[in-house]
Amino acid sequence: MKLTAKPAARCVGAGLAAGAALVLASACTGSTADPSGSESGGDPVDVVITPGDGATGGRPDVPLTVEAEGGKVTDVTVTQELPEGGASQDAQAGQDGGEDGGDGGSEADEVTGTLSDDGATWTSDWNLTPGTDVKVEAVAENADGEEKEFAAQFSTAEAEQGNALELESNFPSSGDTVGVGMPIIVNFDLPVENKSRVENSLEVVSEEPNEGSWTWLDDQSAVFRPKEYWKPNQKVAVNMRLAGVDAGGGTYGVENHRLEFEVGRDQRTTIDARSHRMVVERDGEEIKDFPTSVGKANTRAYTTTSGSHLTMEKYANLVMDSSTVGVPVDSPEGYKLDVDYAVRFSNSGEFTHAAPWNGSLGEANLSHGCPNMATSDAKWFYENSYMGDPLEVTGTDRQVEWDNGWSYWELSWEDWLAKSATGESDKTDDTGTPGSVHGDPQE
């Protein structure tokens, strides 16, 4: 069972000290006295809020708990605020969940909690924000349904300067419309050691059922890929609940983020190097069949990569320079060309683009590795491509590497999942992540 509490202030701070002693100091602000003046027949209920009232400098990754002794927890309100008086947000948490407080916070700032089966203990699902003053207000009831209110205030330690993990970039961006193969890519400004905790702080929620998993390209870059292509025409959100997560080596996340994007129509492209054709299907029906000319394959650099690609970015005009793939411009095989309507699909220099100089479109493969197209065809593909549209190339003897560009679909689901730090998949049509984001209070 979930009770939801929403803190607001997000802090970019600096210094995480050792956890303070967790001492109970609950304040009763309600009354359970019988209106007639007689003593209530029910046993009293008490609440222990941990960390306790007045605790300072506590670790933000230690779970917040509310425990009812002699009863059940029925409501929790959590407010986080910067000591300097920064923006705050709070919301009442009840059996039906909380509503947004309206002070600028987002769903990524919600500190949801889970009730134990007996309803006696509420434990926060997410970490607290470093360097904030935290106020917890709770309501508990005894077996007779009589309620009492309790409260505690404490503070969390700041993240040390130079050890504050922040989001450096992400793909896609909020507001983007993407193709059905689109991965979610997050890049951090510092290395991550506790990869499983960071993975569990990244919650992906889609309108249509799917499952997926994170894979780390290196210590600072993580990629989420679903098991199957996204179903088209739906919204996807990513709650990056990084605030308070222990990334390892004394580094803590300092800010939450929320990413919202939309999956558009289902468009898939196949390029066959043998037939010299490029076929585009949309929502299962063929809509275009273009003549093309791919790499002449006299060298590895000039061989178009076969396999599962995704469209990555596009340029109305682009200078293509052979030196970027290790071939000097002044060599016999070198080139430097201005091209129009370029759509990238790998990191090894491959783009679809206009090539009005190529008189062998649909007949022979004469390019330096890029699928050449007629100008009008390249313009159509440029204008009708979303980032993340699947693009499959067949018929060459050079297979694309799974980490060349966004060719993540080259890996089987089992191989992709095996690269996750948690080793578990994440259901995207439900809230939560596979494991805990919290650290051990005894660490």
HEC readout, the chain: CEEEECCCCCCCCCCCCCCCCCCCCCCCCCCCCCCCCCCCCCCCCEEEEECCCCCCCECCCCCCEEEEECCEEEEEEEEEECCCCCCCECCEECCCCCCCCCCCCCHHHCEEEEECCCCCEEEECCCCCCCCEEEEEEEEECCCCCEEEEEEEEEECCCCCCCEECEEEEECCCCCEECCCCCEEEEECCCCCCHHHHHCCEEEEECCCCEEEEEEEECCEEEEEECCCCCCCEEEEEEECCCCCEEECCEEECCCEEEEEEECCCEEEEEECCCCEEEEEECCEEEEEEECECECCCCCCCCCCEEEEECCCEEEEEEEEHHHHCCCCCCCCCCEEEEEEEEECCCCCCEEEECCCCCCCCCCCCECCCCEECHHHHHHHHHCCCCCCEEEEECCCCECCCCCCCCHHHCCHHHHHHCCCCCCCEECCCCCCCCCCCCCCCC
- Quickly state the pLDDT bin for 331 (edges 50, 70, 90): confident
Residue intervals in the chain for CATH 2.60.40.3780: 2-33+45-155
Model confidence at 418: pLDDT above 80: yes
Task: Please tell me the CATH code under which domain 164-264+416-427 is placed.
Answer: 2.60.40.3710
Q: What is the pLDDT of residues 12-65, one digit of tens each?
A: 222 222 222 222 233 333 333 333 333 455 788 999 999 999 999 999 999 999
Residues labelled as active-site residues: 353, 370
pLDDT classification of 287: cutoffs 50, 70, 90? very high
Q: Where in the chain is the domain with CATH 2.60.40.3710?
A: 164-264+416-427
pLDDT beyond 60 at 225: yes
The CATH fold of domain 2-33+45-155: Immunoglobulin-like (2.60.40)
Q: Which residues in the chain are classed under CATH 2.40.440.10?
A: 267-400
CATH number for 267-400 (one of 3.40.50.720, 3.40.605.10, 3.50.30.10, 2.40.440.10): it is 2.40.440.10
